[in-house]
Chains A and B, each alone.
Chain A
Amino acid sequence: MPVKILYFAWVREKTGKAEEILDLPADVTTVAELMVWLKGRGPEYAEAFARGDVIRAALDRNHVKSTAPLSGAREIAFFPPVTGG
C-alpha cells in the first residue's frame, strides 16, 4: 500500500523534498521503524533523521509518539517540534 510521506521545516530541507509516495516494507510497522528505514534511503535521509529523538510525527494529521503503530495510515508527516504562535 503506497503512503504519502511529508517533511516539514529542517526535515524537508535536509531530505530535499516536501513529500513523496513510498511503498513501505511489511516489516516497518511503527513510526520509529519507519524513521530507521528512511535513514537507509540515502545520505540526505541519514542526515535528516540523525536526530530522530527530536523529530515529531503525525499519522493522518494527528500527532503521535514514535512508538505508535502505522496501522494503515495514508499520510505520514515528519517535522521538528512546532514553533508557532
Chain B
Amino acid sequence: MTVRVEREDFDVGTEVARLTAGRTDIGAIVTFSGTVRGGSGADAITAMTLEHYPGMTEAELARVEAEAGKRWPLKASLIVHRIGTLKPGDNIVLVVTASAHRQAAFAAAEFLMDYLKTRAPFWKKEMRADGQARWVAASECDREAAGRWEEISPPGR
C-alpha cells in the first residue's frame, strides 16, 4: 500500500513490476492511468498546472487507500499523482490494484479513482490556447460517481 505525490513522470510497466516483484499470491492486476486531455477548439489547452495541499494530500490518499483495503481483499495497491505543470498527453495519475482474483482489483481501482477525485486536495488550472488561465470546476458526475459507493456496503469477509 503506497502513495506518492511527485513532479516526475511515471512508467506504468516499471511501477507494476516493482509492486509485484517476488509475489506469487497475486492473480490479478488492474492499472488505471489518467492523462492530460488537450481539448479542441475553444476548449483547447496548452498546459495544466496541478496545485495540492502538501501533507493533507498524502494523508487523504492514504485514507482512501486504507478504505479500499477494508472493502476488498487487496494484495497490493499504489497511487501516484503528479503535480506541477503538465502538457496535453502527459501522465497525471496512476492507480494500481492487485488481488488474487480480478473482481476485487477492478472494483477497488474504480473506487480509488472515484474517491480520489472528490477527496484528494488537488486543483487543476488550465492554460488555454488563447492565453487565458482558468481553474477547472469540480464535476457533478465525479461527485455522483463517488456517492454511489456509499450505497454499496463492503463485502463480508
Q: A residues bordering B, Cβ < 8 Å? A: 6, 8-10, 58, 61-63, 77, 79-85
What is the minimal beta-carbon distance from B64 to any residue of chain A, in angstroms? 11
Flag the segment in B16-24, B39-47, B119-127 that touches A: B119-127
What is the minimal beta-carbon distance from A39 to any residue of chain B, in angstroms? 20
Report A-chain residues with C-beta under 8 Å of the C-beta of B59: 61
Report B-chain residues with C-beta under 8 Å of the C-beta of A6: 53
When the two chains form their complex, are residues A85 and B135 in contact, meaning their CB atoms are under 8 A apart? no
Known: A8-B51, A8-B53. A85 touches B121 (CB 8 A): no
Q: B residues bordering A, Cβ < 8 Å? A: 34, 50-53, 55-56, 59-60, 81, 92-93, 113, 116-125, 135-139, 142
State A82–B51 Cα separation when bound (angstroms): 10
When the two chains form their complex, are residues B52 and A81 in contact, meaning their CB atoms are under 8 A apart? no
When the two chains form their complex, are residues B116 and A83 in contact, meaning their CB atoms are under 8 A apart? no
- Identify which of B50, B55, B137 contacts A84 (C-beta below 8 A): B50
A-B pairs, 9 with minimum CB distance: A84-B122, A81-B138, A9-B123, A61-B56, A85-B117, A83-B136, A83-B124, A84-B120, A10-B135
Interface centre among B34, B56, B113 (most CB of A within 10 A): B56
State A85–B113 Cα separation when bound (angstroms): 7
When the two chains form their complex, are residues B55 and A82 in contact, meaning their CB atoms are under 8 A apart? no
Report B-chain residues with C-beta under 8 Å of the C-beta of A83: 117, 122-124, 135-139
State A49–B67 Cα separation when bound (angstroms): 32
- Identify which of A61, A80, A85 contacts B93 (C-beta below 8 A): A85
Kindly report which residue of chain B lies nearest to residue A77, judged by CB atoms.
Answer: B53
